[in-house]
A and B are shown apart, each in its own frame.
Chain A
Amino acid sequence: MNRAAGQDAVAILARVAVVLTLAFLLLPIAFGLLGTVLPAFGYLPALGGTTFGLEIFRALFATPGLAAAILLSFVTGLVATALSLGLTLVFVAGFAGTPVMARLQHLLSPLLAVPHAAAAFGLTFLIAPSGYLIRLVAPLSGIDRPPDILILNDPLGLSMIAGLVIKETPFLFLVTLAALPQVDLASARRLAASFGYGPIAGFVYLLWPALYRQIRFAVYAVIAYSTAVVDVALILGPNLPGTLATRLVQWMNDPDLSARFLASAGAVLQLTVTLSVLILWRGAERAGGRLLRFCRDGGFRFAHDGALSILSLISVGAIGGTFFAGIGLLALWSVAGLWQFPDLLPQSLTLRSWMSALPRIRDPLLTTLAIGLISTLAAVLLSIGCLERETATGRSGGERSLLLLYLPLIVPQITFVFGLQLLVIGSGSQNRFLALVMVHLVFVLPYVYLSLAEPWRALDRRYETIATALGRTRLMVLLSIRLPMLLRPIMTAAAVGFAVSLGQYLPTLLIGEGRIETITTEAVALASGNNRRVIGVYAMVQTLLPFLAFTFAALLPAFLHRNRRDMGL
């Protein structure tokens, strides 16, 4: 291969990767939204709808309890996001740069990898009236029967908000930590302290505006997720009536065909609800900015914020503690024999639940692995291509490309995956597996790209400059310098991608049409049987898989680079 050809090959591949990435991200969303919007206005020839009109929306707004469902989605989404971000902000502001931070980072990182459903189940085992917290206090207060109080599925959605905060706070926390190196924390801290500002106020005045700009798309993704979530809402949310998204899923499965139109119109409504929360949030951003400037210019120092810091530390500790206690309870239930209230431990331990589940876990497990590995591999290759293109052109695309990447996370899943399902059915394609891998890719790709981008850009380019000066082609530089040096972040990004694929519930359910079973669809389906032991088994499998992926991601570079001490670490 001569040198020019080597240059061209990489350049062409990289350009192709950019085009493919855009296509894989945007086409499913565009077609999916189209497939949702057209039936909402009455157009779906396969089901006899050939004219456009507003009758379906009229029927939608005539469904009983719709206003309550909309309000629930709106409020739970908004409150969950505000709480998660508020906690993150106060905690990072209070503790950034301290050893507490580093320790909690290790504590909270695993939370990201565990699917929402497993975390939600763990929470139910803890806070239900027959749950562990009440069992703990039962002997002290003489309770021998679970109290008849409404904790789970409460009409206000409080337990659902709690479930969301437990998962979203670590997400925002880690995104914020990733953005933190881009601001000058140490000198800002010194400056604020020397003028007598409290650590939180100083952080918020000097660093937060720049930091928030970096993480705001992640915040929007949390809004979209929280307003349109299905699995957490089914497990923890109110059901009389449920949130808008859970009603949508009911309509999507209704034997009455006209309900498909209703579901489409409902999906458009869901999009509107999510957009409204986003618009409201944008307004709040501006108001918050004004308040911040007012406090800053007014010279409010908030010097004594120790209590607030401690409070945020307790809250974040409680989130971690709740999560790990929940996982522990899942593990315990999976091996429990008879375990009655208010016993703190099962009367007997048995592997019965595992033995009966394991043979049936095998196939969904293989499917999960296949879909996860293929979509992750594709996402890693595409991300490397895009980043290589960025390195070559020196253009990162800025905000706009970041928004494109976040788009699949900001447009609620349910609104375009349903349209995709109608398209897949309409196409008569039997190859659901391929369709499913492509839909998973839509969600895996952004996470892989985002977690790979920073280390990619941070790599000292002088290594490559030297290699190029020594006459190596770009392909060789890429293969022998950049990729090996970035093996660890690449593996971490892949593990993140795999965890994302593993956690996908709704796309797998809708596109796979129940014929493609993964661990997650199995877990949620079996949850409808509400057998704690079975839920325990599946949730443990759901939890163990991402941990194995991350462990593998950590061990492989260490093994491959065992003779290069500085790279193996």
Chain B
Amino acid sequence: MRFMKAILAAGLIAGISGLQAIAADAVPKDWPAIEKAASGQTVYFNAWGGSENINAYLEWVGGEMQARYGVTVVQVKLDDTASAVAKVIAEKAAGKNAGGSVDLIWINGENFVSMKQQGLLMTPGWATSLPNWRYVDVENQPTILTDFTEPTEGLESPWGGAKMVFFYDSARTDAASLPDNAVQLLDWAKAHPGRFSYPAPPDFVGSSFLKQVLSEVIDDPARLARPVDEQRFERDVEPLFAYLDQLHAVAWRSGKAFPQNYPDMKQKLADGELDIIFAFNPAEASAGIRAGELPDTVRSFTFSGGTLGNTHFVAIPYNANAREGALLTANFLLSPEAQLRKQDPAHWGDPTVLAMSKLPQADRAAFAALDLGVATLTPDKLGPVIAEPHASWMERIEAEWRRRYASGN
């Protein structure tokens, strides 16, 4: 009996010391202690689960984390990041301020802003104190420090880049006929009825398309960097919806149905239902060719005036149960090795957030040796980046879109 008590006490002490690896509010710095506390933890990584190759990449991350640190990473596959945010909100409302069910979230944009404003994220500055932060390309990728115009303040750790790129099948469509801005795209759609569409918002690729058009047609683009001005909102978005009204008339299924998301558009490009599609990842087309989902005649293009670009991140909720494990995972995701695999089209093909100039020679060479694939534009051909509008715009445009086009009227 006494022996049992001793064991229990030892377990309790171990538990307490585990808890103490990071004080609740301090910026985590003591990495050996974090590694020790993380061992044996299970990190519930809440990440969109609709893509097989991304899920496979996270499988690999889980294997590495297990082998290196004894951390189990479980991907909670979401169809919408908002549901993970909802979980944390519900837990806070229920007073569950520790031992939460979400340890790490794949996040950016309005979900980040919403969590930041409601105080649902772990200590500011944890991301910038990660050991691998020193490789991050803060100089050339402004979207790493400002997420949808919202300062990140080290509340989320960058994971990958994204830029809107258009794809077409060169076997069917003449490269010379391709549009170079949103207005030309509308003209192209009128000349090719039924061959263009976009995913219905709130799919993020679809919402991004709305923002791309809005950025090009709004009379004063500077207003997009500020929160929505309710007084002017109707007038500000009028050109966007005038554009969409014209587009829907000549769009796929006459705008009565929309593709679900990018993979759906990809299938429709392969089937010949759509002729121009777009993605938020420049490597998607090459990945599709490699997987036998797209013909090898598919090529990419962007607008010379620029297309939307942003960074996606991982964040740790304030009540995460396995915060040490989550920190280690976030740090591993930033490592040159993990980022190299992420940029490799054979695995994912997502642009890295690391600066080549900051990497050790060997890693730099490995990145340079990546075969990006026949349909992928090189970084210098991707064109200028149009910054994301303030997060309030997305929510308001989506609601307005739903009111106009999805109310069954």
Contacts and interface: CB of A to CB of B under 8 A. Distances in A.
A253 interface: yes
Contact of B405 (A69, A129, A240, A514): A240
B396 to A, nearest CB: 14
B77 A241 contact: no
Contact of A240 (B89, B257, B268, B292): B257
Contacts of B86: 253-257, 260
B272 to A, nearest CB: 5
A336 B96 CA distance: 48
A341 to B, nearest CB: 4
A350 B292 contact: yes
B79 to A, nearest CB: 5
Contacts of A140: none
Given A146-B273, A528-B79, A530-B260, A46 B406 contact: no
B253 A254 contact: no
A11 to B, nearest CB: 42
B279 to A, nearest CB: 13
A130 B252 CA distance: 13
Nearest to B253: A150
B337 to A, nearest CB: 21
Interface in A230-259: 238-241, 253-257
Nearest to A145: B272
A183 interface: no
A191 interface: no
A8 interface: no
B258 A530 contact: no
B78 A514 contact: yes
A31 to B, nearest CB: 18
B402 A64 contact: yes
A425 B111 CA distance: 22
B177 interface: no
B292 A348 contact: yes
A153 interface: yes
A168 interface: no
B291 A352 contact: yes
Contacts of A513: 87, 101
A144 to B, nearest CB: 8
Given A240-B200, A257-B90, A529-B263, A65 B406 contact: yes
Interface string B103-120: 000000001001000000
B261 interface: yes
A132 to B, nearest CB: 12
Interface stretch (A298-306, A355-363, A365-373): A355-363
Interface in B383-409: 402-403, 405-409
Interface stretch (B12-20, B46-54, B231-239, B348-356): B46-54
B357 to A, nearest CB: 35
B261 A69 contact: no
Nearest to B273: A146
Nearest to B257: A153
A47 B93 CA distance: 5
A425 to B, nearest CB: 6
Interface string A423-436: 00110100000000
Interface in A298-354: 336-341, 348, 350, 352
A165 interface: no
Interface stretch (A377-385, A400-408, A531-539): A531-539
A155 to B, nearest CB: 6
Given A46-B90, A356-B56, A530-B261, A341 B114 contact: no
B305 to A, nearest CB: 30
A560 interface: no
A438 interface: no
Contacts of A130: 268, 271-273
Interface string A66-100: 01110000000000000000000000000000000
A428 B409 CA distance: 43
A515 B194 CA distance: 40
B52 A257 contact: no
A531 B406 contact: no
A437 B40 CA distance: 27
Nearest to A348: B292
A3 B288 CA distance: 72
Interface string B272-299: 1100000000000000000111110000
A481 interface: no
B264 interface: yes
B256 interface: yes
| B56, B78, B96, B272: most-surrounded residue (chain A CB, <10 A) | B272
Given A350-B292, A530-B261, A426 B50 contact: no
Interface string B49-78: 111100110010000000000000010111
B402 A531 contact: no
A388 interface: no
Contacts of B111: 255
A272 B131 CA distance: 57
Contacts of B126: none
B176 interface: no
A239 B93 CA distance: 32
Given A47-B90, A148-B252, A253-B80, A340 B257 contact: no
Given A254-B82, A257-B93, A340-B272, A531 B293 contact: yes
Contact of B50 (A241, A255, A528): A528
A255 B273 contact: no
Given A64-B403, A150-B257, A253 B83 contact: yes
Given A65-B406, A150-B256, A129 B273 contact: yes
B267 interface: yes
B77 A517 contact: yes
Nearest to A48: B93
Contacts of A515: 44, 74, 76, 101
Contacts of B256: 150, 155, 240
A280 interface: no
Interface string A524-559: 011011111110000000000000000000000000
Contacts of B44: 515
B82 A253 contact: yes
A239 B90 CA distance: 27
Contacts of B293: 338, 531, 533
Contacts of A253: 79-80, 82-83, 86
B308 interface: no
B314 interface: no
Nearest to B114: A255
B59 A526 contact: no
Nearest to B96: A428
| B93, B252, B254: most-surrounded residue (chain A CB, <10 A) | B93
Contacts of A526: 49-50, 52
B59 A341 contact: no
Contacts of B46: 514
Contacts of B260: 528, 530
B218 interface: no
Given A257-B89, A530-B260, A531-B267, A341 B272 contact: yes
A359 B101 CA distance: 25
A201 B409 CA distance: 44
Contacts of A350: 292
A148 B257 contact: no
A526 B49 CA distance: 7
A253 B80 CA distance: 8
Given A240-B200, A529-B263, 18 more contacts: A46-B94, A47-B90, A47-B93, A68-B409, A146-B271, A150-B257, A153-B257, A238-B257, A254-B82, A260-B86, A260-B90, A338-B292, A339-B270, A341-B271, A514-B46, A529-B51, A529-B52, A531-B293
Interface of A: 46-48, 64-65, 67-69, 129-130, 144-146, 148-150, 152-155, 238-241, 253-257, 260, 336-341, 348, 350, 352, 356-357, 359-360, 425-426, 428, 513-515, 517, 522, 525-526, 528-534
Closest 7 CB pairs of A and B: A68-B408, A65-B407, A148-B194, A529-B50, A130-B271, A255-B82, A64-B407
23 contacts: A47-B90, A68-B408, A146-B273, A238-B257, A239-B200, A239-B258, A239-B406, A240-B408, A253-B79, A255-B82, A256-B86, A260-B90, A338-B294, A338-B295, A356-B52, A425-B90, A513-B101, A515-B74, A515-B101, A526-B49, A526-B50, A530-B264, A531-B267
